[in-house]
Structure formats: structure tokens, C-alpha cells
Structure 1
């Protein structure tokens, strides 16, 4: 069923695409503006075709004018269509020998030559054709006005029927001219985006490299911030709590003549201070354990395995230590996984295996990987969408382009395999 606003939208669309609309004027102006920048190429190609084997100076001049012609074309696209064709960034100036050699070797330069020597003449021909369509359409649509200027004795019998056909053809040409201009403008814009601008695939590769570098910088900055917080807590708040606990212990030992109620308060404060020190120590180890930085992943994971409420079989065989970021991610993967096992799996034992795969990259392989495998004999059924902490684990692994595979059938066992690229 048609909506009440459908006829109005149809009328608006028709009015926006009439021969006298701004859309028609813009596309026509754009296509006609393609003629002047194409004149050097047209002259050079015409000379080369009419005088084969003679001096190639005209064609060489066209090639030398390529930067100027490219600038003119970019200006045309931006001023008349609002299309921004990105400029190709060069490392060196074109007037230096290295800059000139760089341009001659660059595939972007040859793509621009292809545009100026092939596409630009075709765009100019399309512009001339659009002008011809407009002119023929205007002449045909106004044929009756022209015929009245002629003397009456020059009109042949049946001239009105012929002029009716000419007028109809002229009106049809006027209606078709804006669409011909729009088609030429779209094809020209597509060719310019592909040939005058930077290579899209290489630009995407460069952006991916930039994003990878910026992400590595963010990870390093976050790691440094965690270490700063750990150092501040260890040297500041933790030392103050230790001093407070010592003073409370001294007070409890020396002030023996206090009422029982006061001794009970001191004892409670002493106990709370020691518990706060233990909790703060766990927090500091969770931020960035000092043993991980000082002694590596093997010693840090040994501490986690020793604190687990169930037996943990730990195997670490990594040879050369990976980067600090990868070590930190592997440490937190094991720590969070063992915490999840203790909370949800009801497991009696667990095994952790950390190995480094130095196989070269190939089909289906990503080269130097740190593989972490955690297996437990619990009840299984681990679901990343069930709020068991696996979502955060997946995000932490994904932050370094790692992969995580979870196999956890009901009844167990659960196997979590994480692969981290050591190249980061």
C-alpha cells in the first residue's frame, strides 16, 4: 500500500532531475570542464598518430605536465562534484634526482599517466557529446520557432508533420542530456578514484600497519601505567599499612594495662591491617607481578600454581622470552583461567602447558606463537556467554591478535587453548 508521502517524494525526485535542475547543471558543467585538461593529451596523441616515428617531444611534454594535470583534475572533482581525490604522499620532492627516480618507478605515477592519456581524452569526448546532445535537443525542441523565421515560400508541403517529429526528438534529447552527463560524471569519478589517488590496497595495508603500531603503543603505555600503579601501591600505601600493623602490634604487646575493651579494639585493628596488607599484595600481584618482570613467565606461573586450591601440573617450555606484553597476557590468561576453574568447574586437578612454537609461517600457520593450554577435569559446560569470565579473557587475548579456543562438553574435561603471536 502506497504511503501518503509517496506521490510527493516522486514529484520531488522528478523536479530534482529535470533538464533545468541544479543536478543537471552540475553534471553538465563537470563533464564539459573535462575538455580543457584533456587538450594537451589530445594534441600529443594526435601528433603521435599523424606523424609516427617523428620527434616524441609533444608526448614527452604531456608526460612532464602530469603533476599539473593531476592537480587540475583534483580541483575539478572537488569544486564541481565535491569529490576529494586524495593526493599521493611522496617522500621526496620531484625536482630532486631521487624524487624523480621515485616517481618514475612508482606505480601510482603510471596510473596517473593512464588516466591522462586514456581516460581524460575519453572524458573530454563525453563532454563534447553531452554538449552536442544539449545543442541538438535545444535546436530540435525549438524548430517551430526557427521555421517561422524562414520565408513562407520555402516551406514544403507537410512540413508541420516533419517538424512535429523533430520537436519530439529534441524534447527527448533534452530529457536524456542530464542523464548522459550524470553517467559520464560517474564513470569519470570512478576512474579518477582508482587512478589518480593512492592505491586502495596499499593504503589499507599502510593503515593496518599504522593501527598495529598505535595499538602496540597503547598496550605498552597501559603496561607502563600498570607498573607505575603497582610501584606506587607497593612503595606508598602498602608500606603505610605495614607501619600501621607494626605500631598496632607494638601497642598490643606493650600496653598491657588497658581495659579489655581497648585491647579487643587494638587486636581487631591489628588483624584488619594484616588482612588489608594481604589484599593489597594480591592486588599488586594482579596488576603486574614483579616476579614476571624479574624472573620470567615460568617463575610467575609457578606462584599462581602454588596458590591454586587444587593441584596444578605446570609445564613451561618457551626458550627465549617473548615480549613483555605477550608475557603479561599469557600470565593473566593462566591466572584468570585458574580463577574460573576454582569458581565454576569443581575440578580436582588442572594442568597448564605453555610452549613456544617457532615453526615458520605458512598455509594455516602464523609463525612464532606462544601456545597456552589449560585443562581441567571439572564438570565442563563453560560458555563464554554465560558470564564465567571467558568474555574478558577473549578480549584480553584479542587485544594482541591472539586466538582462543574453548572445548568444554558437559561432564568435562575443559580444554582452553590460547595462541599469542610473539612478533608483537
Structure 2
């Protein structure tokens, strides 16, 4: 379509009138939001001077959310462009006052209030201008057709029946009629751009939401993996391990009852019994490493005591985790200590290990100290790297201090949610 065609069609296009409605409705909503936020803001300021902040500020934040919902509905209905909401994490805090203050300090809240005030200041005159231009255009363009019904002179002294006056008024009407569409479209585009800038999630918000979603997915995956470990442990304990135990017992009975057989034949029974016992021992160790049932039943203290008792070095264990953390965190702590002690037994050449597991508010702190030869590093071997990956997957932090000659100190902090 040519430029002339676009100009001639502009006043009659649906998009032009939708832009006009957007500005007019925006002006009405702007008057409401500006008045509401101004009045409530003034009340908040007066109460703040009097030392009362919590309740008035909460009301202001609620009004800001309501105004934002009205403007989002306006854009969705008149532009067909819903403005996505910024997903906010609920503000934490021990009291209502601290939560309200934390919410008030969030950038998205300030942006909501800013748009509520700015839309009122900008769209109220924008509505007046657009309605004035449309009125001039729609009434001035055809004025020659109904000039006979008008008085000869108006209040300004214009001779409305004079050809020159009619030509001037018609020209002004045509200019407004065909120029107003571009004005209202520009105002609507500006309104939408400002709304997206202040109400829609920014790139930082998108990244923060993505990180939050990934963190939640990671937690769900860890929970699912722990649940699957528990299921496999139960299946092995109640099925395979029981049958293998029964087989070992039967072979033990056969070993005693068939002791009169020739040595070569009796040796086959003895070897089968020994092999069954060895397999049973290995299976128990595998099941215990997969997920210890004692961890669910009796907690970290009992589970870690079992690991310490099997270590070939002296272990001093201290556990103070009251109240108990979430099962996922307990499992992570158990496997962290288990992996650390495995590394001590294999590489440290230590004589003594001290293990301290303590709950400090919302953190679970694990400290493993051995008097071995030191020199441990995350870059050497896979054990410590696997330990670090397990800690990070649980949302924790790992620090290793291991100078050559020892001692080696491994410190782990995990988020502790009961």
C-alpha cells in the first residue's frame, strides 16, 4: 500500500481506534491510580511522621498491586499484548513489619508505583489531546455540509457562512482527521513501551526466575533420586538380601551335615558357603552405601556412628542436629561424611579423625579433620570432586584446607530446612 493509501485509510482502521481506546481508558485508569496512590501515599507519609509505618505501607503496596492488575488487563484487552507479571519470591522475615519492609524495597514494587503515578500524569493530558483532535477532525471536516444550521457568527466572532472561513475550518478538520491516527498510535506505543519497561520482567528478572526454576528442578531431582535410592534399598533388603541369607544358611547347614564326604567333594560345599557369605557381606555394604535404613529410623548420629565404627582409624564423632533437618539434607550430610572418611582411609594415612556435625540456625555445618599427610586437592582424583558436586547439588558450600604434612580440614555447610 502506498503512503497516500495508508494516510487515507488511517482514520478508519481498527488499530487506530483501539489505540484511541487504549489512551482514553488509560487516562481514566490513570486518574484513578494517580488519585489512589497519591492519597494513600500522603497518608503513609503522615503516619510515618507519627511513627506508624507497618499498616499504611501494607495498604500502599496492596493498592500498587491492584493498579498494576488493572493496567495489565487494559493492555491485554485493547492491544492483545499481555504484559507478563514478575514472579516475586515471598519476602521472608520473623514479623509482618519486616516482611512489609522487605517487599517495599524490591525494585518491582517501586516500578509498579512509578507506572501508576506516571500513567496518570501522562495519559490524562494525552486523553484530552486525543479527544480534542478527534472532535476537531470529525466535526471540522464536514462543516460545509451543515454550516447552514449554524449561527452566522460564533462566540469568537467568526463568520461561519463565509467561504474562506469554511475552507479554513475544513482544512483544519482534515489535518486533524488524518493526523490524529498517527498521534494516538505514537502515544499508545509510548504507553506500551513504558509499561513493558516498568511492569514486565527485565532481563535480570528473567534470569532470576530461570535460576529459581532450575533450583526448584534440582531439588525435585535430588528428592526423586533419594526416593529411588530408598526404594532400591528396600527391594534389595527385603528381596535379594533375604534370599541370599537363606541360601548362605542352607549352605552352612549342608557344610555341617555333609562333613563326612570326601575332602574334594566337601570342599565344593565349603567354597560355595564361603562365596555366599562373601557375596552377602558385599551386598550388605552396597545396600548400606546406597541408602542406610538407619538414617531414616534413627537419624544422623546413629548412621554416622555406624560409618565411624567400620573405619580402620580412631574416630571422634560429635553430632548435634536438633531439630532434625529435611531427609534430603540428612542424606547429603551422611554421604558427605561417608565420602570424606573413605578418602581418609584410602589416602590420608591418618591415625585419628575428628568429625563435628552441628546445626546452626538454618545451616548444617560439617567439619572433618584428620591428622594425615595432607596435600588433598580438588584437582587430584575424583573422590573430592564427587564430594564437591554432591555438596553443590544440595545447595551447600565446601572448603578444603590441606597443607602438605597435614592436617586436612574439610568444612561443609548445607542449607538446613526442617
TM-score normalized with structure 1 length: 0.58
Cα 1:343/1:31, change in 2 over 3 Å: farther
Of 240, 252, 255, which aligns to 2:258? 255
CA contact 1:87–1:198 (8 Å) conserved in 2 = yes
For residue 98 of structure 1, what is the aligned residue in structure 2? none
For residue 384 of structure 1, what is the aligned residue in structure 2? 378
For structure 2, which runs of at least 5 residues remain unmatched after alignment? 5-13, 32-65, 88-107, 132-181
Residue 197 (structure 1) shift: 4.1
For structure 1, which runs of at least 5 residues remain unmatched after alignment? 1-18, 21-28, 47-63, 90-105, 129-177, 359-367
Equivalent runs, 1:393-412 vs 2, <5 Å: 393-412=387-406
Of 11, 16, 22, which aligns to 1:37? 22
Residue 224 (structure 1) shift: 2.7
CA contact 1:119–1:191 (8 Å) conserved in 2 = no
Determine the C-alpha separation between the residues in 1 that align with 2:307 and 2:186.
68
Residue 43 (structure 1) shift: 8.2
1:129-149 residue CA offsets vs partner (Å, 9 max, x unmatched)? xxxxxxxxxxxxxxxxxxxxx
1:171-214 residue CA offsets vs partner (Å, 9 max, x unmatched)? xxxxxxx9x99998986554222345479988888877776666
Determine the C-alpha separation between the residues in 2 that align with 1:356 and 1:67.
43
Partner-residue secondary structure (3-state), 1:253 = helix
Equivalent runs, 1:43-192 vs 2, <5 Å: 70-71=72-73, 73-74=75-76, 85-86=83-84, 113-114=116-117, 116-118=119-121, 189-192=192-195
1:340-380 residue CA offsets vs partner (Å, 9 max, x unmatched)? 1112222222111112223xxxxxxxxx2221100112222
**1:419 aligned to 2:413?**
yes
Of 287, 292, 295, which aligns to 2:290? 287
Determine the C-alpha separation between the residues in 2 that align with 1:274 and 1:127.
91
For residue 133 of structure 1, what is the aligned residue in structure 2? none
Of 309, 314, 324, which aligns to 2:312? 309
Determine the C-alpha separation between the residues in 2 that align with 1:414 and 1:385.
15
CA contact 1:115–1:195 (8 Å) conserved in 2 = no
Determine the C-alpha separation between the residues in 1 that align with 2:318 and 2:347.
23
CA contact 2:401–2:409 (8 Å) conserved in 1 = yes
RMSD: 4.7
CA contact 1:115–1:196 (8 Å) conserved in 2 = no
Cα 1:230/1:113, change in 2 over 3 Å: same
Cα 1:306/1:182, change in 2 over 3 Å: farther
Determine the C-alpha separation between the residues in 2 that align with 1:44 and 1:357.
50
Partner-residue secondary structure (3-state), 2:272 = helix
Determine the C-alpha separation between the residues in 2 that align with 1:65 and 1:353.
53
For residue 197 of structure 2, what is the aligned residue in structure 1? 194
Partner-residue secondary structure (3-state), 1:379 = coil
1:319-353 residue CA offsets vs partner (Å, 9 max, x unmatched)? 43323222222111111100011122222221111
Count the aligned residue pairs: 308
Determine the C-alpha separation between the residues in 2 that align with 1:43 and 1:86.
22
Residue 215 (structure 1) shift: 4.8
For residue 355 of structure 2, what is the aligned residue in structure 1? 352
TM-score normalized with structure 2 length: 0.59
1:101-157 residue CA offsets vs partner (Å, 9 max, x unmatched)? xxxxx96976664465356579899999xxxxxxxxxxxxxxxxxxxxxxxxxxxxx
CA contact 1:123–1:188 (8 Å) conserved in 2 = no
For residue 224 of structure 1, what is the aligned residue in structure 2? 227
